[in-house]
């Protein structure tokens, strides 16, 4: 049975999502952790710190994904694709929770900069939503393409012994490729190269700062 959400319900739901995204350990995954049953091989302290830096970047990427979906949800019409977008956003919560869990296993933490990246991504999502559904979906596709490239790079850079982080990233890679395909099939505009370059530069700022902060 479905019912129309009242404005108060909606605001509570939004606020709940913000808290679950930004408060460490508050997100819970709906699917089993892909690393369950996988054992790490021996890693030095330096390797564990490096793995944590990479997983912190991936975690912040998922914070941005939540904010992006939420910002778009506020302004985009998306009559036919809202269900799929909500499904994708739910999968991003799994990613967020898995990265958070892995950071804890590595005796590390999420980034101090997450609130700032959340705010920026929320704004960009809301703006894309205002510009029309094809732009909004195109933005999802371009973002997922970029995230996919990051994940490939990180799977390459992770220490050989870090098999649990790798298991998480492999599942995320599969999900992100699926999100990208869906957004393009749903009518997402293919972003021109200069726009994609701008997005890549922004993500460089994020990765450089979040690796340590």
Binding site for Fe ion (CB under 5 A): 62, 65, 92, 95, 176, 179
Paired tokens of 16: 């709940």
Q: Torsion angle of alpha carbons 99, 101, 105, 108, nearest 10°?
A: 60
CA distances from 205 to 104, 148, 166, 198, 200 (A): 24, 17, 24, 11, 9
Its sign, for the CA torsion 17, 19, 23, 27, is: negative
Nearer residue to Fe ion within complex by CB, 43 or 97:
97
Closest CB 65 distance from Fe ion, rounded Å: 5
Nearer residue to Fe ion within complex by CB, 48 or 171:
171
Nearer residue to Fe ion within complex by CB, 43 or 167:
167
Closest CB 8 distance from Fe ion, rounded Å: 29
Nearer residue to Fe ion within complex by CB, 52 or 65:
65
Closest CB 144 distance from Fe ion, rounded Å: 5
Nearer residue to Fe ion within complex by CB, 51 or 146:
146
Nearer residue to Fe ion within complex by CB, 48 or 150:
150
Q: For residues 110 and 53, what is the distance between their CA atoms, to the nearest angstrom?
A: 9
Closest CB 179 distance from Fe ion, rounded Å: 4
What Rg, from alpha-carbon coordinates, does the chain have? 17
Which alpha helices (H) appear in the chain, and where do they start and end?
7-22, 45-75, 82-105, 114-130, 133-157, 163-185, 193-210
Q: How many residues are there in the chain?
A: 213
Closest CB 76 distance from Fe ion, rounded Å: 16
CA distances from 154 to 28, 158, 162, 173 (A): 23, 6, 11, 11
Closest CA to 47 of 157, 123, 136, 166: 157
Closest CB 99 distance from Fe ion, rounded Å: 9
């Amino acid at each position: 049975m479905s019912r129309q959400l009242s404005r108060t319900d909606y605001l509570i739901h939004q606020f709940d999502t913000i808290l679950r995204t930004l408060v460490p350990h508050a997100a819970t995954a709906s699917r089993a952790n892909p690393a369950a049953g996988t054992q790490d091989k021996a890693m030095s302290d330096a390797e564990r710190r490096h793995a944590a830096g990479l997983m912190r970047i991936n975690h912040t990427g998922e914070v941005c994904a939540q904010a992006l979906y939420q910002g778009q949800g506020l302004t985009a019409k998306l009559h036919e694709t809202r269900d799929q977008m909500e499904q994708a956003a739910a999968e991003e919560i799994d990613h967020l929770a898995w990265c958070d869990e892995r950071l804890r296993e590595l005796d590390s933490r999420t980034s101090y900069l997450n609130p700032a990246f959340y705010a920026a991504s929320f704004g960009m999502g809301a703006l894309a939503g205002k510009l029309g559904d094809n732009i909004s979906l195109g933005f999802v596709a371009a973002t997922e393409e970029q995230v996919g490239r990051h994940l490939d790079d990180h799977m390459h850079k992770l220490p050989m012994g870090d098999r649990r982080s790798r298991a998480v990233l492999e599942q995320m890679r599969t999900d992100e490729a699926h999100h990208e395909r869906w957004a393009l099939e749903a009518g997402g505009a293919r972003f021109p190269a200069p726009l994609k370059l701008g997005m890549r530069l922004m993500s460089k700022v994020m990765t450089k700062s979040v690796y340590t902060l």
